[in-house]
Amino acid sequence: MLREAEERIVLNGVKISSGSPSINHILFADDTLIFCKATLEEGETIMKIVSDYEEASGQKINYDKCIISFEK
Query: Mind listing the pLDDT tens digit for each residue in 44-61?
Result: 888 888 899 899 999 998
pTM flag (> 0.85): no
Query: Which pLDDT score is estimated for 33?
Result: 84
Contacts of 12 (CB under 8 A, 6+ apart): 6, 22, 24, 36, 37, 42
Q: Which one of 35-39, 47-51, 67-71 scores highest in mean pLDDT?
A: 47-51
Contacts of 26 (CB under 8 A, 6+ apart): 32, 33, 35
Q: What average pLDDT does this structure show over 5-26?
A: 76
The three-state secondary structure class of 56 is helix
pLDDT at 29 exceeding the cut of 80:
yes
